[in-house]
A = this chain, B = another copy of it.
């Protein structure tokens, strides 16, 4: 859940039109002040010159077995929210690492689902930490194939693997491991040492991932960077390379009957509303104080205060993104999302700025009383809403939730419980780092110049790597999928002729090159 809508966002951030009209007028959220109009271009980075033909041939010769590995992964359910198949998936991942030649592999117990640690010692000067998540979202209604059968389906873009986890995140993760396995089988060892640190609670907001890191902190700090396998191409083949993620605070508001009024034990008949206070009304009233009537502008005092202005380097990245975008693609993205208009009618650089640099408070779900068929005239004794707030530098989950608690108490809603569910801060890697250069160079080798974004709008616990361990981190590769957190999630395996997206074999070759490029970085 506090997961990245990776492809959607990646596609979105490159697809927005350039606009020279400056910033939005509404400006109650802090106005982003651009101090430069220079644009960063990834084309300025030289293409990776290496070629690893023996490994590529191994991949091509074994692609059917490699696809079977992806299917094996998605068929193993691992729904963290419902603890469905989690233990089995952790064992499966650990077994795969052992089988590949990782000499040190361990399940890492936590208060929640276990982590998985693996170390591959290549005796190489450089060490790359690999972040993996082995859990998935619950399946939803609307699937045209069963969500956990790993079926191959014909799609406009080619033959795709359609399953929960196909792109978020088992597909690209197992493709990466296929690449690793291919190098080892071809050359006997990798060009870099690998430290795999996997978790099974990413979709729960990674509440216990710090415990996994705790155990290996010193070894991780000695690494040279962190990588996260991911399908970075949108449906047109374009790539966005994000250099960070937003943080997130997930919390629940609960209104219940009690000393302030309202039924404490159970629902009562709705006619008693005349003399009994209603938790559902209290929740609606409390929620409504958090934002303006537009549902966008946050009215919690101080909520925007911690936000820092984007650096000049970040501004150059956004200018580069805006230059790479077009109004037609912005329109296409609205259609893909089923959205008639964006907030405040924003477009172009204004829209990009809002998307990348602004904090949010969102209602994931709310419920109270009878929600079934027909009607039941009751006065419910409890009402709940689950919310998430996306955080940008330098907001922190605790700091933002404190502001919400203070605000509610100050507005007379001290009876509303505010429960922290999970949270972590944002993560940021600077564009001028060897691991980012290595990544861009490999994309450039394949003629897919990435649009480098200052961050994703989604959230992931990468602050652990970037802020706590002080490591630079990149994510992504050639490959395309869509439908994360939605029905009919897929990853392209065999692109249709003429399609500009990579298939499974091409994605694996990207990962091979990336490992060698990173190993060779000065």
Contact = CB atoms under 8 A, between A and B. Distances in A.
Interface of A: 1-5, 8-9, 12, 80-82, 137-138, 142, 203-205, 246, 248, 250, 257-278, 280-282, 284-285, 287-289, 291, 293-296, 337-343, 346, 351, 354-356, 358, 360-381, 383, 385-386, 388, 390, 411-413, 421-422, 456-459, 484-486
A363 B385 CA distance: 15
Contacts of A2: 375, 377
Lowest 7 A-B CB distances belong to which pairs?
A81-B374, A281-B295, A288-B288, A265-B338, A5-B269, A365-B369, A280-B363
A257 B339 CA distance: 7
A457 B358 contact: no
A448 B229 CA distance: 80
Contacts of A365: 280, 367-371, 376, 378, 380
A366 B367 contact: yes
A138 to B, nearest CB: 7
Contacts of A485: 269, 376-378
17 contacts: A1-B377, A5-B272, A8-B268, A8-B269, A9-B272, A12-B272, A81-B374, A263-B337, A264-B340, A274-B457, A278-B296, A284-B366, A293-B412, A362-B379, A363-B369, A366-B367, A366-B368
A366 B376 CA distance: 12
Given A295-B285, A355-B275, A457-B271, A368 B376 contact: no
B276 A343 contact: yes
Of A277, A289, A366, which is in contact with the most chain B CB atoms at under 10 Å from its CB?
Answer: A366
A261 B378 contact: no
Contacts of A3: 377
Nearest to A287: B284
A136 to B, nearest CB: 12
B294 A381 contact: no
Contacts of A261: 339-343
Contacts of A295: 277-278, 280-282, 284-285
Contacts of A138: 372-374, 376
A273 B370 CA distance: 28
A458 B269 contact: yes
Given A277-B294, A277-B295, A373-B81, A5 B368 contact: no
Contacts of A205: 375
Contacts of A341: 259-261
A140 to B, nearest CB: 8
Nearest to A3: B377
Nearest to A79: B374
Nearest to A365: B369
B274 A390 contact: yes
A486 B356 CA distance: 49
A363 B375 CA distance: 11
Given A366-B280, A376-B365, A380-B363, A355 B274 contact: yes
Given A263-B339, A339-B261, A351 B275 contact: yes
A447 to B, nearest CB: 29
Contacts of A338: 257, 263-266, 268, 381
Contact of A275 (B258, B264, B346): B346
Nearest to A487: B266
Given A257-B340, A388-B270, A137 B484 contact: no
Contacts of A264: 338-340
A269 B484 contact: yes
B285 A291 contact: yes
Nearest to A421: B375
Given A266-B486, A277-B295, A375-B386, 7 more contacts: A1-B377, A203-B375, A257-B339, A261-B343, A274-B457, A284-B363, A365-B376
Nearest to A268: B337
Contacts of A390: 270-271, 273-274
A4 B272 CA distance: 11
A459 B375 CA distance: 14
A142 B265 CA distance: 12
A19 B339 CA distance: 58
A169 to B, nearest CB: 14
A4 B246 CA distance: 51
A374 B343 contact: no
A348 to B, nearest CB: 12
Contacts of A248: 377
Nearest to A358: B274
Contact of A457 (B272, B289, B340): B272
A362 B278 contact: yes
